[in-house]
């Protein structure tokens, strides 16, 4: 049986915001698979980060997949701008829209891949009837809003349950929150395909070694 290497999506939330373009180029050179872009509105989550203009300006610095995580509500009015800015995957929160199916249809209609994110308390059952519209499921293993939090162990059971729900569908399971080399093994064993890591990648200047340690 072929071993599939887990993908690493460094979260630029932990990067040096004064040098974001350089940081994105550096993680690409260091072996990152995706660039994870955390968008927060100060309403859905208690923090404010960046908007489509920053995503657009970063696009010219990297050919990697831009994995844009929208922690905003309402979300639908902003989806087109983030796709236009260069997002390859747009992930929205199941809790941020009353019409999840419609929101996912919008993302797909614009030519991007569609993801759904679940907060720690949200059961995986909420995505059962939209699986046919999903390319990615993002399991939050911390409460969204800030980097540097500790991993919530209940996420492991959720990852395993989602793996079973997906069956043979081509949907990636991504995990975000408190991921370090020790936790990486457990979440990968549970079924994760993509690991989001902020502090674990950016904590030292040797991004390549940090990414390799997670893999």
For the annotated catalytic residues, the residue numbers are 38, 176
Q: Rounded to the nearest 5 degrees, what angle is found at the Cα of 56, between the Cα atoms of 21 and 88?
A: 100
The CA-atom distances, in angstroms, between 165 and each of 100, 101, 105, 125, 189 are: 18, 17, 20, 9, 16
| 8 Å CB contact between 126 and 155 | no
């Amino acid at each position: 049986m072929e071993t599939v290497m887990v993908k690493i999506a460094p979260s630029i939330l932990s990067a040096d915001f004064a040098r974001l373009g350089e940081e994105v180029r550096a993680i690409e050179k260091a072996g990152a698979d995706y660039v994870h872009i955390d968008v927060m509105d100060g309403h859905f989550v208690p923090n404010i980060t960046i908007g489509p203009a920053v995503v657009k300006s970063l696009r010219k610095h990297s050919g990697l997949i831009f994995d844009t995580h929208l922690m905003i509500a309402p979300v639908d009015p902003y989806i087109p701008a983030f796709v236009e800015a260069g997002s390859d995957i747009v992930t929205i929160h199941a809790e941020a829209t009353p019409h999840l199916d419609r929101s996912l249809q919008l993302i797909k209609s614009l030519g991007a891949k569609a993801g759904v994110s679940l907060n720690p308390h949200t059961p995986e059952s909420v995505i059962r009837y939209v699986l046919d519209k999903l390319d990615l499921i993002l399991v939050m293993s911390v409460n969204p809003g800030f980097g540097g939090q500790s991993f919530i162990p209940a996420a492991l059971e959720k990852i395993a349950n989602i793996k079973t729900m997906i069956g043979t569908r081509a949907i990636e399971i991504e995990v975000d929150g408190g991921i370090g080399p020790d936790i990486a093994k457990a979440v990968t064993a549970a079924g994760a395909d993509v690991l989001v890591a902020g502090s674990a990648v950016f904590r030292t200047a040797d991004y390549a070694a940090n990414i390799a340690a997670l893999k």
